[in-house]
Amino acid sequence: GLRLVPKADGKQTLKDFKSDQEVRWCPGCGDYAILAAVQSFLPELGIRRENIVFVSGIGCSSRFPYYMNTYGIHSIHGRAPAIATGLAASRPDLSVWVVTGDGDALSIGGNHLIHALRRNINLKILLFNNRIYGLTKGQYSPTSEIGKITKSTPMGSVDRPFNPISLAIGAEASFVARTIDSDRKHLQSVLRAAAEHRGTALVEIYQNCPIFNDNAFDRLKEPGTRDDITLRLEHGEPIVSATKAVRRAANGSLEVVDRASVPEEEILVHDVRNPDPSVAFALSRLDEPA
Ligand code: SF4
Ligand code: MG
């Protein structure tokens, strides 16, 4: 099997994280941009590739570990969070990442996901949300909008979609974020914040599927559609705590600041009551000691 050998000089670059496998997503798939963002951001963490593991389930996104020159497991449908939990619990020295999709994480693996979130083991879960089942050719998924016409819902789907952010907050996740494949800078700033977080981080990444759900996130390309929206919980309580908030620093990264020191409009978030929130957001559970 694969055995990764530490580089003699210890210096890693983007190239060190690319495997020799041919990348086989459809042309134009948003997964390419996410893969490139992850591969180019990982060297800055300074974690040796032999101490990094990507665990996936089943779906288009779950091909991800093949393309990373790290350790990886292409596991069972929906079960990546469970396998990654075992790995991270027994090997706290490893950096453990889960790559999953909206079907894998929220339908087949919904139960594993919420328990991974509440256990708060040191895992980073990247949920590629294209709001469709891509690998099995375009059935509606748990995040497809009401009325979605697909081969499995020819009259339009009648189910309300999950909002993965609300779900994660409801499961008491300690870090919740949303970002999008087409905004590399934001995507990498969120990945950075997730990597720095101790505990389970859920990062939802809106991902375009040009074959079965093209342009689902197009309106988010408009300037200003993802900024300056206040994150609030269901009952109108701000998700930011009384004393802490998260905002985007001048260099684009996210920072936790004293709430009193930032104007309300600079606090990063979105309204989780909106079933199709436009905001990319991230924040730590701020009531826990660091
Ligand atoms: Fe990407 Fe969609 Fe093709 Fe899957 S079916 S590889 S999500 S474009
Ligand atoms: Mg999907």
Q: Domain locations in the chain? A: 14-212+275-284
Q: Is residue 148 classed exposed, middle or buried when 0-12, 13-18 and 19+ CB atoms within 10 A define those classes?
A: buried
188 contacts: CB under 8 Å, gap ≥ 6: 37, 40, 41
* Tokens at 228, concatenated: 């300056």
Query: Alpha-carbon distance 82 to 80, whole Å?
Result: 5
Selection from 113, 155, 164, 161 nearest residue 141 by Cα: 161
Both structure tokens of 280? 């990319």
- Tens of pLDDT, residue by residue over 200-230, are 889 989 899 999 999 988 766 665 454 322 2
The ligand 1 atom nearest the CA atom of 128: 7
34 lines ligand 1 (CB under 6 A): no
Domain 14-212+275-284 is found in CATH 3.20.20.450 = no
- pLDDT digit string (tens) for the chain, length 290 residues: 567 888 888 899 999 999 999 999 999 999 999 999 999 999 999 999 999 999 999 999 999 999 999 999 999 999 999 999 999 999 999 999 999 999 999 999 999 999 999 898 999 999 999 999 999 999 999 999 999 999 999 999 999 888 887 788 778 787 777 788 988 887 887 888 788 878 888 998 989 999 999 998 876 666 545 432 223 322 233 344 445 555 666 665 556 666 667 665 555 543 333 333 333 344 433 333 33
pLDDT of 241:
45
pTM of the model as a whole = 0.82
State in Å: Cα 101 to ligand 2 middle: 5
Give yes or no for a contact between 268 and 282, defined as CB atoms under 8 angstroms apart. yes
Residue 238: left if φ>0, alpha if ψ -120 to 50, beta else—which one? beta
pLDDT computed for residue 266 by the predictor: 58
CB distance 210 to ligand 1 below 6 Å: yes
Is the minimum distance from the CB of 134 to ligand 1 under 6 angstroms?
yes
Ligand nearest to the CA of 32: 1
Quote the pLDDT of residue 251.
Answer: 67
